[in-house]
Each structure stands twice: as C-alpha cells, then as structure tokens.
C-alpha cells in the first residue's frame, strides 16, 4: 500500500494485519535475500539491505528470521533464488497500478497477475505505461493511533530533517523526503523522540484519480486486497483516491 489514497488509511490496514502477518514475514525475507544477493550481506556497506532490514524490524520480524534471509541471499544457506520484477497496468475506474514483485518464476507470476487483474476489470500494460505517473520518494509514517504527538513540533522536526512534504491526518502523519535523505531524516527525527510505524522508499503518484462511485470503489479495494495477498507482490502502488464519505460507507458494510 502506498500513495496518497485512502488505501493508506491505517484503520483499514489494521483490520487485515493479523491475517497477513505470516505472509508479510515471507515477503520481507524475500526482499532481504534479494538485497543481500545483489549488494552483499553487510548492511553497513549495502544501504538497500539496510532499508529492507529496517522495514522488517518495523514489522517486528524476529532477528533470527532476518539473519536467515541474509544467509540465503549470500549463499550461506540453501534456498530459492528470487528476482525483482516490475509490472504496470490498470485497475477498475482506470486507476494506475505499479507493482513491485519478487518471484522465482517470472512466467507463472505474469500469468497469475494477468488472470487476477482481468477478474477485477483491470489489465497488465506495457513497461513504462504508468511509471511516469509516479515519483520515487522516501516516506516516513507516524501512526497516531499508537502515539500522541504535537502537530507543530512534528512539523518543525520534519522540516529540519529535510522533509519536502508533510501530510497531517487524524490517524497518521506522512513525511515525504528525497530517497537519498531518508535514513538521515529518520535518524534525526528519532533523536527528537519520534517513532515510525514504517519508513521506506516508495512510488508516490503525482496526481490522483477520484473514485467517487461506491461500486467502483469497492472493486478497486477488492483488487488491492487480492494483489497484496499474492505471494510474489512486495508492494502495490496506485493513484486512486476514495472520498471519505464513500470510504466510511464501505467500512460500515464490512
């Protein structure tokens, strides 16, 4: 999940958190293994691995699991070899989809995703068909349901840390930073006493598509659920925005 859509709504995420915990650990292990294989197993010398490990820690992944994933990536443990794949396409209501995957079988993954998208009124597109709609940015999230913060103080701390954009909402605070400055910004704000529920480099949509038809909005959310549940999908980025009133109606029906 990412972008500025209501899909990033923390309340909506938490309903699925327990169900996805085991699957999440598996996906995080894949990412760590791939980063270790591509850039070496020393996080001090491999910033991409360091970021993957931090994400695993943010999600309370045990240290032993993290080390096993590193060892698989460096060849110290036997395991399946995964490759990184990017797929692009469209979902219901014409929303753009940018999918970050790690798979051990490119043909199988492509076939499964093509079938899944077609079932939900979407389709895979050619390379580059939607990538231009997104920008690669560093993102830090403060979960306001877990901690109490002073908005003005967070704003000041984030700006001093180099934030480009700050979105303050009822349940979350999103801080956008240039990717190269993400680690330093996080360290700076942690020194100010802030804790983050997540911090990663993500694809942020430059413009959003409002999905204000309830039926279409449900189709989009159903597709996002299916994509996130797919074993090979690491991240799903989209440019849709569901208005608050529609999101509230859909949550009441769950």
19: which residues sit within 8 A by CB, 6+ positions away? Answer: none
Give me the domain span that covers residue 107.
83-132+208-253
CATH number of the domain bearing residue 174: 3.30.70.980
Decide which of 35, 53, 74 is a domain's last residue: 74
| pTM: predicted TM-score of the whole model, two decimal places | 0.88
* Encoded tokens for 202: 């993500």
pLDDT confidence of residue 254: 67
Residue 205 has pLDDT above 90, yes or no: yes
Residues 28-46 have pLDDT tens digits of 999 999 999 999 999 999 9
Q: For 131-137, what is the mean pLDDT?
A: 96
In angstroms, the Cα distances linking 153 to 171, 185, 211 are 17, 15, 34
Residues 41-66 have pLDDT tens digits of 999 999 999 999 999 999 999 999 99
Pair (22, 147) in one structural domain: no
Q: Give Cα 134 to chain centroid, integer Å.
A: 14
Number of domains in the chain: 3
Q: Are strands 209-210 and 165-168 parallel, antiparallel or unpaired?
A: unpaired
Pair (121, 12) in one structural domain: no
Instruction: Return d(Cα 248, Cα 241) in angstroms, integer.
Output: 13
Pair (92, 191) in one structural domain: no
* Residue with the larger pLDDT of the pair 170 and 240: 240
Establish if 1 belongs to a structural domain.
no
CATH number of the domain bearing residue 39: 1.10.10.200
Pair (63, 178) in one structural domain: no
């Amino acid at each position: 999940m990412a972008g500025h859509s209501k899909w990033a709504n923390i309340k909506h995420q938490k309903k699925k958190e327990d169900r996805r915990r085991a699957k999440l650990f598996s996906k995080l292990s894949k990412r760590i293994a791939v980063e270790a294989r591509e850039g070496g197993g020393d996080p001090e010398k491999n910033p991409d691995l360091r970021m993957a490990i931090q994400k695993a820690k943010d999600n309370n992944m045990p240290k032993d699991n993290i080390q096993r994933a590193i060892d698989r990536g460096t060849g110290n443990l036997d395991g399946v070899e995964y490759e990184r794949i990017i797929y692009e396409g469209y979902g219901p209501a014409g929303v753009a989809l940018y999918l970050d995957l790690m798979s051990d079988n490119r043909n199988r993954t492509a076939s499964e995703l093509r079938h899944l998208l077609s079932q939900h009124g979407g389709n895979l597109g050619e390379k580059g068909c939607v990538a231009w709609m997104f920008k690669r940015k560093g993102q830090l999230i403060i979960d306001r349901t877990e901690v109490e913060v002073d908005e003005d103080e967070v704003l000041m701390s984030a700006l001093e840390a180099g934030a480009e954009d700050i979105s303050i909402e009822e349940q979350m605070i999103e801080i956008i930073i240039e990717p190269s400055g993400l680690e330093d910004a996080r360290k700076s704000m942690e020194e100010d006493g802030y804790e983050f529920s997540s911090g990663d480099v993500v694809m942020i949509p430059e413009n959003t598509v409002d999905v204000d038809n309830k039926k279409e909005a449900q189709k989009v959310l159903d597709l996002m659920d299916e994509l996130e549940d797919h074993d090979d999908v690491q991240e799903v980025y989209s440019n849709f925005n569901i208005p608050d009133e529609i999101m509230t109606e859909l949550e009441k029906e769950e």
